[in-house]
Structure 1
Amino acid sequence: MKYKKPMNLEASLDGRIDHCLWCSKKVETRTSWQSFISNASHQYLCFSCKSLLQPLPKNCCVRCSRPLSIGGEHVECLDCRRWREKDNMGDTLEHNLSLYVYNESAKELISRWKYRGDAILALIFRTELRRLYLQKYWDHLPIPIPISDKRMLERGFNQSELLLSFLLEPLSLVEKLSMILTRMKGKKREEIPPAASSMLLRLMDEKKQSKKTRYERMMATENPFRVNTKCSSTIKAKNIVLLDDIYTTGSTLRRAATELKSHGARSVRAITLFRGS
């Protein structure tokens, strides 16, 4: 099956973004000088709904962003230690950065977004996702985690491809200025090819991750992902950042990372919207 080009979510609203995408209440827009030079001039959530998105605490696992109950620097969670022990060659996924805690509000949002087809909710994450990518991973090639043909037919879209579409948007003036400063520090920006969404394929349809136990996720051995042979040369020697909605055990991301590294990727990291416990 050929995947469709990610939809333009904002265009589907005909420019009338004056209400909260979660509760539908009118959102008071505040015009500032940044509104005229930034891509992120719209407010997609009202103040009350925005407060339901819980940012990750400072005390997190240094490798996977899992919130921890113990303090100290360079603390690694038990799952990450187990992953390293499980893989004799070392962990294939260098790092994961998440934006928010996967709390009850997040679960309801994900359910409405992914399983009830409310694709427009992806816009909620646009600004923070772009900011994190441009600050931390602008020299990485972003690749979305693919879904199977069956899931694509069920949902009508791949939530990770929607996240990629935000990174494909032209840079605003503010972002360009930031990039100039970053370039002065010696980094080279990675140009995102249009085919980024098809570099990694999912050939197997598995039981939904949400239906698996923690043990089943971590013990899965068969890899459902394959690198698109037409893109092998693009992946070789590249730093890659995977895009996905939720990190729970990291099994999905690590299997994708394993496949990418087997085709010559230099390193694989990940950005996820939510970090489960």
Structure 2
Amino acid sequence: MKRNEVTNCLICNAPLNHQITWKSFLTNAFPKTICTECEQKFVPYENTSKEVISLYQYNDAMKDFLHRYKFMHDVMLAKVFRAQIHEQLSKTHATIVPIPLHPTKLKERSFAQVDELLKAAHIPYEHFLEKTMTDTQVGKTRQERLATPQFFKLIKNCKNKEIILVDDIYTTGVTINHAKNLLLHSGAKSVRAFTLIRG
């Protein structure tokens, strides 16, 4: 993305005051895509485990962001957290594996939200999983989510791989755990997870 390509905040549309610092120029840092006021509405998540790392809490600002990004198909919003995602994942030697959408859902939505977050952050990734069920976890009780049968199948050999699963949001952990268990049972060396949001 060219510098100053985004001239207005992607959240509230206020004009962005781009200030190119020596640091941003020399490190080729991502230019800002949201204003400071909007930035402050997203609350960092305090991680207590290294098994699942999440960047932000699920608050009203994040709820609005997720709704616009996933359900109103505002794919430009993938750029909002790219610097933070890049910082977390760019130095790992593990293979980055996005949680996939079911092919039918992908057709409906027209883009895979996790893939787009990774692309925007310049993080290479590989698909090892395919989702076999179309129903989502949204609207289910915790008990219903926990009782959900395995809904992934393996599409690529993962033997001896160190893997970081990436998803947009972690709530009960069912999705991540299904994916993790399948990969470990299929020979993965280790599986950790990273999510943008913790619900």
TM-score range, shorter chain: over 0.9
| Residue number in structure 2 paired with 1:227 | 154
TM-score between both structures, scaled by the size of structure 1: 0.67
SS at match of 2:54: strand
Counterparts of 1:155-194 in structure 2 under 5 Å?
155-166=109-120, 168=122, 192=124
Q: Which of 49, 56, 59 is 1:62 aligned to?
A: 49
CA-CA distance at 1:122 after TM superposition: 1.0
Q: Which of 138, 144, 165 is 1:210 aligned to?
A: 138
SS at match of 1:211: coil
Query: What are the superposed Cα offsets for residues 223-256 of structure 1, whole Å, 9 maximum, x if unpaired?
Result: 111111xx21xx2111100111100010000001
Counterpart check, 1:124 vs 2:52: no
**8 Å contact from structure 2 (residues 102, 131) kept in 1:** yes
Counterpart check, 1:48 vs 2:14: no
Counterpart check, 1:244 vs 2:173: no
Q: Which of 106, 110, 113 is 2:69 aligned to?
A: 113
**8 Å contact from structure 1 (residues 223, 255) kept in 2:** yes
| Residue number in structure 1 paired with 2:130 | 201
Kindly provide the amino acid, as one letter, of the partner of residue 100 in structure 2. P
Counterpart check, 1:153 vs 2:117: no
**8 Å contact from structure 1 (residues 163, 243) kept in 2:** no
Structure with higher Rg: it is 1
Query: What are the superposed Cα offsets for residues 96-133 of structure 1, whole Å, 9 maximum, x if unpaired?
Result: 00000001111111001000100110101100001011
CA-CA distance at 1:142 after TM superposition: 0.3
Distance 1:213 1:107 in 2: 18
**8 Å contact from structure 1 (residues 122, 162) kept in 2:** yes
Query: What are the superposed Cα offsets for residues 194-243 of structure 1, whole Å, 9 maximum, x if unpaired?
Result: xx1x321112212x2221111111222x2111111xx21xx211110011
Counterpart check, 1:257 vs 2:180: yes
Distance 1:127 1:41 in 2: 6
Which of the two has greater helix per residue? 1
Distance 1:165 1:128 in 2: 13
| Residue number in structure 2 paired with 1:81 | none
| Residue number in structure 2 paired with 1:91 | none
Query: What are the superposed Cα offsets for residues 69-105 of structure 1, whole Å, 9 maximum, x if unpaired?
Result: xxxxxxxxxxxxxxxxxxxxxxxxxx10000000111
SS at match of 1:209: coil
Superposition CA RMSD, Å: 1.9
SS at match of 1:253: helix
Q: How many aligned residue pairs are there?
A: 199
**8 Å contact from structure 2 (residues 162, 191) kept in 1:** yes
Which of the two has greater strand per residue? 2
Structure 1 residue runs of 4 or more that deviate by more than 3 Å after TM superposition: 166-169
Percentage identity across paired residues of the two chains: 33
| Residue number in structure 2 paired with 1:34 | 23
Distance 1:41 1:210 in 2: 33
**8 Å contact from structure 2 (residues 82, 118) kept in 1:** no
Q: Any stretches of 5+ residues in structure 2 without a counterpart?
A: none
Distance 2:110 2:4 in 1: 22
SS at match of 1:271: strand
SS at match of 1:157: coil
